[in-house]
Amino acid sequence: MKIKKIYLPVIITTALAVGVLIGGYLNFSAPTANFSSNASKNKLNKLLDFINNEYVDEVNTDSIVDITVNGILEKLDPHSVYIAKNEFESVAQSMKGDFVGIGVNFYTYKDSVAVIKPIAGGPSERAGIRAGDRILFAGNTKLFGKKISNDTLFSKLKGERGSKVELTIFRKTENKKFKVNVTRDLVPIKSVDVALMLDNKTGYIKINRFAETTFKEFHQGLLKLKAAGVKELIVDVRNNGGGYMERAVEIADEFLKDKEQIVKIKNRKGVEDVSNATSKGSFENGKLYILIDENSASASEILAGAIQDNDRGLIVGRRSFGKGLVQREMPLGDGSAVRLTVARYYTPSGRSIQKPYNKGLEEYYGDFEKRFENGELYAFDSIKVADSLKFKTKKGKTVYGGGGIIPDIFVPMEGKHGDEALNMIMQSGIVSYFVFEELDHERMQFQKLSIPEVENKVIKTDFYYDGFRKHLSKSGLIFNLDKHKDKVKQYLAAEFVRQLFDEQHYYQLILKEDPMIKAVLEAAKK
């Protein structure tokens, strides 16, 4: 298996990032600033004044300040971060749960804006826009045949709620061009991907981050599953880097009995804030399983820790990331902000699951590589934790602090040692892009097929498998896929179904062969 070196950092970064940098903070309003005068502050102010007034060349002091702020924060901890003015809106929007726009998923494909799929019930779908359509103009602004920045593109498609934009559309399947008016509206950014029944008693809910709307989405999904007769529930927070701690507390409250502790927060002054469950839980008695992996962090770990320490359910998967620090977002007055670590959190047994960060950022984020090298992604016995950090759950089970949540049921990474890159590739945008291209050639034929027919069309022949192998090769990614042929076909079929139908049917296909789901279903029989 060979990968061009230029792609390797992208693959590894994709596996590790997943929101960990921005995940896990309190949604408190910023405190009133009380900055007393001191020598250090005066020194920085004087230096900036000297540069502004006396330096020989023109200098953008804003950029100098940005560098200085980043440098200061890097000396604190890995999760105290600066959010520049030009990044703040997109970061805030991702955690808000919705935005105002036209409601399409799209690629800038070759020389045009190609619609992957309009968002269900959104403005574009209501206006009649379909998957595969090209957006040629937004008003009089040409969006094809030239390189257009994402910022420019988004500025033309987003706008005030209720405002209209006239789009010129080319529909390839009908070879026609037409204009349509789209009224911009709120478009949800889902943080709960899906809530579905795996069988007649087992429900499954996938949470991708903890945003403002997560509890509302989760609760709606849980009520739907209860109406379907759910008796056992799987909550999947794999690759969930965190977000608002309060949302994790609210979800834990659905499972825990009145007054059971969920999490404790302690600040630098030793002031504690304890969150306990209420009597309002909607699923306090059925079997419960939380799926975690090495990219589950912060709020995901708060949820998993609360369930494990109260002996409410089983944690399934691999050791989580290990982020036990809490951030508060503080505006800096110019549109930028700092997300500053203001407290540590502790699970109900009293453990901090924060892994050490005293050896610098490279060592901290290189922890994944260390886990890979020592074999803990493949063998439970290879997990290394400090024996001195032992704690007891409510019923006396031993758990450990100091570096993530260790699962009750260990499930190794799929494939053999050395297959990690393939696993990452199959869950990346490369698969989505390939499938879109194939649909772009054959959309009319595929649209006539049912879900089982689409699945058979992809799985029963090698046509799309061979095409995907060539696609990887053109992208500079060279794999020996043959020993993974069935898995590759399953992912390809699921992506075809996602783009043609919906997320729910995608997960129904993917989860059939998911090792962690299989482990849960096996445990449930005992």
Q: Which residues are catalytic?
A: 298, 309, 323
Beta-bridge mates of residue 106: 115
- Helix or strand holding residue 265 (H, E): strand 261-267
Q: Is 121 left (phi over 0), alpha (psi -120 to 50) or beta?
A: left
Cα–Cα dist 58/43, whole Å: 21
Say which residues have a Cβ less than 8 Å from residue 297's Cβ, sequence separation at least 6: 19, 20, 23, 24, 240, 241, 242, 320, 321, 322, 323
- With b for 16 or more beta-carbon neighbours within 10 A and e for fewer, the 12-48 pattern comes to bebbbebbbbbbbbbeeeeeeeeeeeeeeeeeeeeee
158: its two tokens: 């987003």
**Cα–Cα dist 202/286, whole Å:** 10
Q: Which SS3 state, helix, strand or coil, does residue 134 take?
A: strand
Helix axes 503-510, 485-500, angle to 10 degrees: 170
Half-sphere exposure of 522 (CA within 13 A, CB side): 10
Q: How far apart are CA 345 and CA 304, in angstroms?
A: 13
Tell me the one-letter amino acid at 64. I
Q: Which DSSP state fits 79?
A: T
Work out whether strand 202-207 and strand 192-197 pair parallel, antiparallel, or are unpaired.
Answer: antiparallel
DSSP code of residue 484: G
Token pair for residue 297?
Answer: 């962090």
Instruction: Using the structure block, give the residue that is written with the tokens 């935005």.
Output: 99
